[in-house]
């Protein structure tokens, strides 16, 4: 009971947050934070725990977003069905991607995923009949004008993701993922079917990311290839969210998402700095890799030590 108390407090806090009359802008930022923490948790499953670093998570996000978009534009269904549909679609899609890319190891896998994300962006730009090309897909009316319900829905999705990730990591799957990350040959000789379990990690990760994408379509009411398949804003920022927060930690992606999204907004809203926001992100990443290689959650003890008075160390 004692252990779950802080989590209950955090949840209560998050639940009443929209009721205190925050501006629509702040609500938008909060929703972005939750979306990124969801993608971050998904990436963490594959990259953080299983050690298969993906530079192409925009691919899953985009395919999820377009699943919802195309259901609406071609079949005339509500884009909310996309939330349901994205799961099977993304599982199959991830399986195919895994079949192609997971035979590669380490940096080669990372490069293949990078290429795949870009290939999908270009493809969706050019499959005009199917995706609408650069014109994108516009939902004629969004379900709600205000942000409150969107906030609650994405919060629910993110909580579900958190619980799923925790459940997976504490099970046999989690042990197998980490074993594969630490040494694939050793894992294989311990009787672990590395190809199978890497594929499972990828499918889980892809499905969750796609779900976030499908929500994004509903929330924004407009998608186009440059936004949902964006290399920097989705693929790279997702990696940064996890790196900053803490690789292979439960709360890392959430902490990372809070920092990254707010930082991006602060930098962008400052006219003198706005244009330099990618540069500043790059510098932040270098700083994190050198001083906090395990991220803020992973290296929390280090940070605590920094702020303690010097004398207390002895």
- Name the residues that contact other proteins, by CB under 8 A: 170-172, 175-176, 178-179, 182-183, 185-194
Q: What angle do CA 264, 267, 273 make, to 5 degrees?
A: 145
Burial 290-310 (b: 16+ CB within 10 A, else e): eebebbbbbbbeeeeeeeeee
Phi, psi of 159 (to 5 degrees): -65, -40
CB atoms within 10 A of CB 242: 30
Shortest CB 313 distance to other proteins, Å: 22
Angstrom distances, CA of residue 275 to CA of 22, 279, 287, 288: 28, 9, 20, 22
Shortest CB 182 distance to other proteins, Å: 4
Q: How far apart are CA 5 and CA 145, in angstroms?
A: 34
| Comparison of 125 and 188: residue with beta carbon closer to other proteins | 188
Shortest CB 187 distance to other proteins, Å: 8
| Comparison of 188 and 233: residue with beta carbon closer to other proteins | 188
Phi, psi of 222 (to 5 degrees): -150, 135
For residue 115 the two structure tokens come to 């290429």
| Comparison of 171 and 278: residue with beta carbon closer to other proteins | 171
Shortest CB 189 distance to other proteins, Å: 5
* Of 245, 225, 247, 226, nearest in space to 49 by CA: 247
Shortest CB 3 distance to other proteins, Å: 19
Q: How far apart are CA 289 and CA 98, in angstroms?
A: 28
Shortest CB 175 distance to other proteins, Å: 4
| Comparison of 204 and 267: residue with beta carbon closer to other proteins | 204
Shortest CB 280 distance to other proteins, Å: 30
| Comparison of 131 and 194: residue with beta carbon closer to other proteins | 194
Shortest CB 111 distance to other proteins, Å: 24
Contact 69, 222 (CB under 8 A): no
CA dihedral for 110, 280, 238, 214, sign (positive or negative): negative
| Comparison of 141 and 185: residue with beta carbon closer to other proteins | 185
Q: How far apart are CA 157 and CA 41, in angstroms?
A: 12
- CA 155, chain centre distance (Å): 14
Shortest CB 193 distance to other proteins, Å: 5
| Comparison of 57 and 181: residue with beta carbon closer to other proteins | 181
| Comparison of 21 and 191: residue with beta carbon closer to other proteins | 191
| Comparison of 151 and 176: residue with beta carbon closer to other proteins | 176
Q: Where are the alpha helices (DSSP H) in 102-147?
A: 106-126, 128-131
């Amino acid at each position: 009971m004692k252990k779950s108390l802080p989590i209950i407090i955090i949840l209560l806090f998050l639940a009443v947050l929209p009721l205190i009359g925050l501006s629509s802008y702040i609500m938008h930022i909060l929703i972005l934070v939750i979306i990124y923490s969801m993608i971050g948790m998904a990436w963490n499953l594959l990259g953080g725990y299983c050690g298969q670093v993906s530079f192409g998570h925009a691919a899953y996000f985009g395919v999820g977003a377009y699943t919802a978009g195309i259901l609406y534009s071609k079949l005339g269904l509500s884009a909310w069905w996309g939330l349901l549909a994205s799961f099977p679609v993304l599982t199959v899609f991830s399986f195919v991607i895994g079949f192609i890319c997971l035979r590669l190891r380490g940096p080669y896998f990372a490069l293949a995923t990078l290429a795949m994300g870009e290939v999908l962006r270009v493809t969706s730009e050019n499959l005009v009949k199917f995706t609408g090309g650069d014109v994108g897909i516009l939902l004629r009316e969004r379900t709600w004008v205000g942000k409150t319900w969107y906030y609650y829905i994405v919060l629910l999705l993110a909580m579900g993701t958190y619980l799923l990730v925790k459940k997976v990591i504490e099970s046999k799957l989690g042990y197998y993922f980490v074993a594969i990350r630490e040494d694939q040959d050793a894992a294989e000789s311990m009787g672990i079917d590395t190809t199978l379990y890497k594929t499972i990690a990828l499918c889980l990760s892809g499905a969750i990311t796609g779900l976030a994408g499908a929500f994004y379509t509903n929330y924004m009411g407009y998608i186009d290839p440059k936004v949902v398949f964006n290399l920097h804003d989705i693929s790279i920022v997702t990696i940064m969210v996890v790196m900053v927060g803490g690789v292979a930690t439960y709360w890392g992606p959430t902490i990372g998402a809070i920092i990254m999204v707010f930082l991006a907004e602060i930098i962008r809203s400052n006219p003198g700095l706005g244009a330099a926001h990618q540069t500043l992100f790059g510098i932040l990443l270098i700083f994190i890799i050198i001083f906090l290689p395990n991220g803020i959650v992973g290296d929390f003890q280090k940070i605590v030590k920094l702020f303690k008075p010097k004398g207390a160390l002895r």
